[in-house]
Amino acid sequence: MKTKTEFTILERAIATVQGFEGVYKTLQQNITLRGQSQSTLHNYTRQISLVSLHFNRLPELVTEQELNEYLANLAISAKSPSRSAFKHAVYGLRYYFKVMGDTKRAIKLPSIKKDAKLPVILNRSELRALFAAPKLLKHRVLLTLIYSAGLRSQELINLKIADIDFERKTIHIRRSKYNKDRIVPLSDNMAIGLHKYLQAEHPLVWLFNGQAPGSHYAAKGIAWVMRQALKKTGISKEVSIHSLRHSYATHLLEDGLNIVTVKELLGHAYVDTTMIYLHIAQCPLIQAHSPLDTLYPKATNKQ
C-alpha cells in the first residue's frame, strides 16, 4: 500500500509537470500488459516522478549532461551510502526510456554493478533470542513466520488467514515477486504459534491487520518490530528483516536440502540467485570416494 507521502510525489508530478499524466497512463498500461505487479508500477513511477519534479519536465526533455549530474549527486549522497537511491533512479529511467522507445538513452545510462557482499545471516542461537524478544505475541509470531517460511516483507503483508492451511501444513504465497504464486511448508511449531495468535487477536481477513479497519500490516511496521527486537537482544550484526529470509535459505542448505528445492521455496526466477547462499552455508564435507562403495556399502574384502 502506498503511503501518503508517496501519493503526494506522484500527484505533484501529475499536477505540475506538463505531460506527466499521459506518461503515467502509458507506464500503467505497459506494466498491466506485461503482467507485472502494482509494486513495480509504484517503484518505477516514483522514480520518474522524482526526476520530473527535479527538472520540472519529462526525462526525455532533460539533457544527458543534466541527467548524469543528477545521478552523480544521488550516488555520492551521504544519505544513501548503499547507493540505493542512485540504483533505483537508474532502474526507473532505464525502464522509462525503453517504454518510450528511446533504447539508446536507456543503454547510455550508468551500469549498475552487482553488490559483491555476501548476505549477513543470524545463527540459530541469535534467532531464538530474537524471536523471544518482543513483548507482544503478534510481534513474536510475525518475526518467526518470516523466518519459518522465508518470506519477503511484502509477502507477509499480503498473507490472508485463508492462505494458511493447517491440515495440509502449507502456506500459499500469492502474486509475489515476478507475479508468481508458490506454496511453502508450514512448520509444526509455527502452526502452534499461529493458533495461539489467531485465538488471541481474532484478525478478520488479513493474517496481520493494520491500524486502519480492513487494512493489512505496513512494511514500516515490520521493520520497526525487527529493530526493537534487535535492541533487546544485543545482536551487533548489521541485519534487517530481509536477513531472516537469508537465514532461512542458508539453514535449509545446511540441513541438507538441495539448492533447486531451496530456489523454488524462495520463489527465485533463476537458480543463480540462490547459489549465493552456497558461499555462506556451512555444509558438512563429504570425503572423496568411489560411488561403487556406496553402491555396495557392506562389501567385504573377500576375493
Q: Is 152 a catalytic residue?
A: yes
Of 124, 90, 102, 99, the C-alpha closest to 248 is 124
Active-site option among 87, 94, 245, 251: 245
276 by DSSP, 3-state: which? helix
Active-site option among 98, 172, 182, 242: 242
Active-site option among 42, 160, 182, 268: 268
Whole-angstrom distance, CA of residue 161 vs CA of residue 53? 41
Q: Is 117 a catalytic residue?
A: no
Active-site option among 46, 88, 140, 152: 152
Q: Is 242 a catalytic residue?
A: yes
Q: Which residues contact 295 (CB under 8 A, 6 or more apart)?
A: none
Q: Is 268 a catalytic residue?
A: yes
Q: Is 217 a catalytic residue?
A: no
Active-site option among 70, 95, 147, 277: 277
Partners of 172 in beta bridges? 183
Q: Is 46 a catalytic residue?
A: no
**Looking at the annotation, which residues are catalytic?**
152, 177, 242, 245, 268, 277
